[in-house]
Structure 1
Amino acid sequence: MKVILPVELADDIEPLLPSDITSVRVDPDGNFDGDPSGAEVYLNGFRVKNTTLHKVLAAAPTIRWQHTPSSGVNHILTPTFLSHDIILTNSSGVHAIPIAEFVLNFMLYHAKNVRELQDLQTNHYWNKWLELQELYEKTLLLIGTGNIGQEIALRAKAFGMQIWGSRRNPEPLANFDKIVGANEWKALLPEADYIVIATPLTPETKGLINAETLRLMRPTAYLINIARGAIVDENALLTALREGWIAGAGLDIFESEPLPPESPFWSLPNAFITPHCSALTPQVRSRIVKLFIDNLTSYRNKEKLRNVVNKNVGY
Structure 2
Amino acid sequence: MVKLILPIELAAEIEPHLPSDTQFVRVDSDGNFDGDASDAEVYLNGFKLKPTTLHKVLAAAPGIRWQQTPSAGVNHILTPIFLQHDIILTNGAGVHAIPISEFVLTLILYHAKQLRQLQAAHDQRSWRKSWLVLPELANSTVLILGTGNIGQAIAARTKAFGARVWGGRRRPEPLPNFDKIVGTDEWHALLPEVDYVVVATPLTPETKGLIDEKVLRSLPSHAYLINVGRGAVVDESALTKALTEGWIAGAGLDTVSIEPLPPESSLWSLPNLFITPHTSAISPALKGRIANLFLDNLERYRAGQPLQNIVNKQAGY
The reply to whether TM is greater than 0.5 is yes
User: Is the Cα contact below 8 Å between 2:213 and 2:239 reproduced in 1?
Assistant: yes
Give the corresponding residue for 1:78: 79
- The corresponding residue for 1:57 is 58
Alignment match, 1:191: 193
RMSD (Å) for aligned C-alpha atoms: 0.8
Equivalent-residue separation in structure 2 for 1:240 and 1:213 (angstroms): 10
1:136-185 deviations in Å (ceiling 9; x for gaps): 10000011111111111111111110111111111111111111111111
The alpha-carbon deviation at position 41 of structure 1 amounts to 0.3
Which 4+ residue blocks in structure 1 deviate beyond 4 angstroms? Answer: none
Displacement of 1:39 in angstroms is 0.3
Q: Within 5 Å, give how 1:1-315 maps onto structure 2.
A: 1-129=2-130, 130-315=132-317
How much has 1:222 moved relative to structure 2?
0.2
Q: C-alpha separation between the residues in 2 aligned to 1:92 and 1:66?
A: 14
**Count of residue pairs brought into register by the alignment:** 315
SS of the residue 2:313 aligns to: coil
Code of the aligned partner of 1:181? G
For 1:15 and 1:135, the matched residues in 2 are separated by 45
Name the CA distance, whole Å, in 2 between partners of 1:25 and 1:126.
Answer: 57
Supply the AA of the counterpart residue of 1:269. P
- For residues 231-287 of structure 1, what are the alpha-carbon distances to aligned partners after superposition, in whole Å with 9 as ceiling and x for unaligned? 011111111111111100010001110111111121211111111000100112111
**What is the rounded CA distance, in whole Å, between the counterparts of 1:127 and 1:293 in structure 2?**
56
Shift of 1:42: 0.2
SS at match of 1:213: helix
| 1:282 match: secondary structure | coil
Looking at structure 2, the residues matched to 237 and 127 of structure 1 have their Cα atoms a distance apart, in angstroms, of: 32
Whole-Å separation in 1 of the counterparts to 2:225 and 2:287: 28
| In 2, Cα distance between equivalents of 1:11 and 1:173 | 37
**AA in 2 matched with 1:193:** D
Distance (Å, rounded) in 2 between the aligned partners of 1:209 and 1:66: 31
Deviation at 1:34, TM superposition (A): 1.0
SS state of the match for residue 245, structure 1?
coil
How far did 1:192 drift?
A: 0.3
In the TM superposition, what is the alpha-carbon distance from 1:89 to its structure 2 partner?
0.2
- One-letter amino acid of the structure 2 residue matched with residue 168 of structure 1: R
Matching residue's letter, 1:126? W
Q: TM-score, normalised by structure 1?
A: 0.99
Q: Which moved more, 1:123-132 or 1:258-267?
A: 123-132
Q: Distance in 1 between matches of 2:128 and 2:40?
A: 64
State the 1:131 CA deviation: 2.2
Shift of 1:128: 2.5
Residue deviations 1:104-139 (CA, integer Å, cap 9, x gap): 000000000000011111111112332211111000
TM-score by length of 2: 0.98
Tell me, in whole angstroms, the C-alpha distance in 2 between the residues paired with 1:260 and 1:307: 34
What is the alpha-carbon distance in structure 2 between the residues aligned to residue 64 and residue 21 of structure 1?
Answer: 15
Contact kept in structure 1, 2:13 and 2:287, CA below 8 Å: no
Give 1:118's aligned amino acid. Q
Gapped runs of 5+ residues in structure 2?
none
Q: Which secondary structure does the structure 2 equivalent of 1:280 belong to?
A: coil
What is the CA–CA distance in structure 1 between the aligned matches of 2:138 and 2:92, rounded to whole Å?
A: 32
258-267 or 43-52: which moved more? 258-267
DSSP-derived class of the 1:195 partner: strand
Aligned residue for 1:261, secondary structure, equals coil
